[in-house]
Chain A
Amino acid sequence: MNMHVLEVLGLRHRTGVHPPARKSARSKAIEHMPLASKVILPLQQHIGACAKAAVKRGDEVKVGQVIAESDGFVSAPIHATISGTVKQITTITSPVTGQPVPAIIIESDGKDEWIELAPADPENLSNEQILTRIQNAGIVGMGGATFPTHVKLKPPPQKHIHTLIVNGAECEPYITADDRLMLEEADRIIAGLKIVMQVLSVTRAHIAIEDNKPQAIERMRKALAQLSPPERITVVAVAARYPMGAEKTLVKSILHAEVPEGGLPMDVGALVQNVATLAAIYDAVTLGKPLVERVVTVAGMVSEPKNLIARFGTAASSLIELCGEPDTSIDQMIFGGPMMGIAQPSYDSPIIKGTNCVLLNRSDFRDEHSCIRCGRCIDSCPMGLMPLMFVNCVKKGEYETLPNYHIANCVECGACAYNCPANIPLVSYIKTGKTELQKRGVK
């Protein structure tokens, strides 16, 4: 029977939720924002080890110059994003973890002087050279996960990758950064995609875009049609259901295969790359340009939502100033989307590599009640879990029971909490549970 019939009959239920899209900056072309007079660059912008400062106070730096490096394979260097003087090496509150993190502050000389770039033709580069260029450019996953890209592009030899999935789903409400990038920079994305296909020697790629972005779908299809020779790349319109953009959800809807528990998409022969990351890969490999800026959507309770290109380290307040009158009842600023984003302690929080959105809103605190066992969290969970049981176990302190309910499978998407009538902050309980398990050394 056709899937849709099964869904209507309720014999196969669709997971996920339908938050309102609120993509108010959808029709706003990407704008370069004026350069900041000062940037604050935290030395940990990605998953993996913290970088060590390679400059000292008073040093003159140019745009693209490496200012912090870390050793280890799972790491990416950090570059100066404006030219000027290193003002201070200090400690700030990390916009990601909320913990103290070392940071370098650079004051602009107003010249925007770049280091010398070394363009290259990717077809003449070896895989090793391409990966090195990607690593040196400091590229990490720009969809929010910020995992170093060169590591992801070097799967262990026993894993055969046959399909590349390009993540243009952008399923979080408000965010339009990837949508605009696809509309305005389709060719850069496809150029980056071809580089990745070359590195992985895959011949098949799917560009997944939620069906609420028909213009982006059309634009990407047009750009593909102009390729010669044509490539085996298709644009797939996926259902607009949160969290469609989660890697495992995407793999399931495109390849109709589930990533084995505890595994990665490469276990079913797939690799997922975000559209913004692909554009950055093109810049790095072909133009030799390090990653120093990104598109950030400013949205929520501002009168003029925008998609701005901001250098990393720019304070959020500088972006907000460009977006009209902020509503006076705003009391919360989130980096990322409303479903998985992180509330920031101050308007000074700097934009970093994973910041796709600055969202200004009124906080929505609700009293937590007892679970009424309505089962909505189960129906919403894309990972087929029973989120209410995590709450149950954590409340009782029975952490050892959590693995029986496959807690490690949870991607912390928040779909369960979105629909809970008892306003239970399920994700917070799940995080507590995971932390407690880690403390106890249970895997």
Chain B
Amino acid sequence: MHNVSKLVLSPAPHLRGNASISRDMYIVTLALLLPCAGAVYFFGLYVLLMLATGVLCAVLTEYVAKLMRRQPFLMDGSAIVTGILLVLVMPPRTPLWIIAVGSVFSIAIAKEAFGGLGHNIFNPALAGRAFVTLSFASALTRWIAPVSSFMADGVTAATPLGEGFVTTLNNGALYKALFLGNVAGSVGETSVLLILIGGAILLAFGLIKWHVPVFYIGTVFLLSWIMGQDPLFHILAGGLMLGAFFMATDYVTSPITTRGKIIFAVGAGILVVVIRVLGTMPEGVCYSILLMNAVTPLIDRYVRPKPYGYIPTTRKEA
């Protein structure tokens, strides 16, 4: 027969699905396009510059890091996602150099220094955000209200969770503004609606499990309600939605089992309320997720699926 010499020997399975890391990452990028577009709409074209800076620096840093570590550079899209997420959690008028610093930190320190994709403990985008917050605190407090025109510069305004936030809106109108995105805040966190659509895309492609956002947001809602706060306000304001759908769901830095993910989500939810209500910082999403990232290895150690036909060890003596 033909090809006699060329039969390829390879281990089973010989048939594989269409899952790939880059496919996952491009779907996430697609889901993030809506919050990005919303950000440009609300805060002007400057956001595009921020996104370009964030993504470019992330990809370049990864390229250099791989070169230095003598590993192949794979355009798997994960650096793009990190770059976009980092911009989305920044204030709208952040100087581009700060974005660049954050982006380099995210990839070089938070990701590659730990061993690259799959080995990092902390969510790279949030680690980058935390790093620049600690380093350049004063440059990052200039929040602006959304602008109606693409070009105009915004008017400085307080974020809903900040100290100086006063509103003349009644509750209904405030919720509506928060839901649609008509409030000051980080680039990508203002419009709950756009984030929900992006989250729905992730769910539809089976990339994330519903448990994480539902338990995370649910915990914040219940706990803030119990503590006498306005629960609706707490789940709509700030970065909770973005964090719940796009960051607490990060594969690498959250537990691998579904039960572990639920523990992670509930823990993060509790931390958000504690930080917001009892702490000095107005916003708790970033730190709640980073703290839970640190606990993830512990959760994974103890929360394991029950193997088929499992015999509890106590009954095993015989």
Contacts and interface: CB of A to CB of B under 8 A. Distances in A.
Contact of A386 (B16, B117, B304): B304
Interface string B251-283: 110001110000000000000000000000000
Contacts of A61: none
B138 interface: no
B8 A331 contact: yes
Contact of B20 (A10, A363, A423, A425): A423
A420 B24 CA distance: 11
B66 to A, nearest CB: 12
Contact of B251 (A13, A262, A343, A374): A374
B15 A373 contact: no
Contact of A343 (B6, B10, B24): B10
B305 A385 contact: yes
B13 A258 contact: no
B228 interface: no
B14 A19 contact: no
A421 B1 CA distance: 35
A332 B8 contact: yes
A342 interface: yes
A326 B23 CA distance: 32
Nearest to B14: A338
A166 interface: no
B309 A260 contact: yes
B15 A338 contact: yes
A100 interface: no
A372 B14 contact: no
A363 B311 CA distance: 40
B117 to A, nearest CB: 6
A359 B166 CA distance: 70
Given A364-B16, A418-B17, A423-B16, A10 B209 contact: yes
Interface in A305-355: 317, 320, 326, 328, 330-334, 338-347
Contact of B310 (A341, A376, A384): A384
A331 B7 contact: yes
A340 B13 contact: yes
Given A261-B309, A338-B15, A427-B12, A375 B4 contact: no
Given A364-B16, A375-B256, A384-B310, A333 B7 contact: yes
Give the residue among A366, A369, A427 with the most B Cβ atoms within 10 A.
A369
Nearest to B19: A421
A252 interface: yes
Contacts of B256: 373, 375, 378, 386, 388
Give the interface residue-count category, chain A. 35 or more
Interface in B36-76: 74, 76
Interface in B169-224: 209-211
A213 to B, nearest CB: 19
A54 to B, nearest CB: 32
B164 interface: no
B116 interface: yes
A164 interface: no
Range of interface residues on chain B? Answer: 35 or more
Given A10-B210, A332-B7, A346-B4, A409 B118 contact: no
Given A320-B1, A372-B117, A417 B16 contact: yes
A421 B256 CA distance: 15
Given A372-B117, A409-B307, A365 B10 contact: yes
B305 A343 contact: no
Given A17-B17, A330-B3, A340-B12, A372 B251 contact: yes
A363 B21 contact: no
Given A17-B17, A373-B118, A409-B307, A342 B12 contact: yes
B11 A373 contact: no
A363 B251 contact: no
Given A248-B309, A332-B8, A386-B304, A369 B251 contact: no
A249 B74 CA distance: 38
Contacts of A260: 309, 311
Contacts of A428: 11
Interface string A157-195: 000000000000000010000000000000000000000
A378 B257 CA distance: 7
A303 to B, nearest CB: 14
A254 to B, nearest CB: 15
A334 B15 CA distance: 11
A298 interface: no
Residue picked from A263, A374, A418, A420, most chain B C-beta under 10 Å: A374
A420 B19 CA distance: 6
A438 interface: no
B114 to A, nearest CB: 11
Interface string B284-318: 00000000000000000000111111110000000
B12 A372 contact: no
B137 interface: no
B13 A417 contact: yes
B17 A375 contact: no
A341 B6 CA distance: 18
A263 B309 CA distance: 9
Interface string B97-131: 00000000000000000011111000000000000
A331 B6 CA distance: 6
A341 B14 contact: yes
Given A343-B8, A343-B10, A375-B251, A19 B17 contact: yes
B24 A383 contact: no
- Which A-B residue pairs are the 7 nearest by beta carbons? A414-B13, A338-B15, A370-B118, A363-B8, A421-B19, A258-B309, A261-B309
23 contacts: A10-B210, A10-B211, A10-B258, A98-B9, A173-B15, A258-B310, A261-B310, A334-B14, A339-B15, A343-B9, A343-B12, A364-B15, A369-B117, A372-B24, A374-B24, A375-B251, A385-B307, A386-B257, A414-B13, A418-B15, A421-B19, A421-B24, A422-B21
Interface of B: 1-4, 6-17, 19-21, 23-24, 74, 76, 115-119, 209-211, 251-252, 256-258, 304-311
Interface of A: 10, 13, 17, 19, 98, 173, 248, 252, 258-263, 317, 320, 326, 328, 330-334, 338-347, 359, 361, 363-366, 369-376, 378-379, 382-386, 388, 405-406, 409, 412, 414, 417-423, 425, 427-428, 431
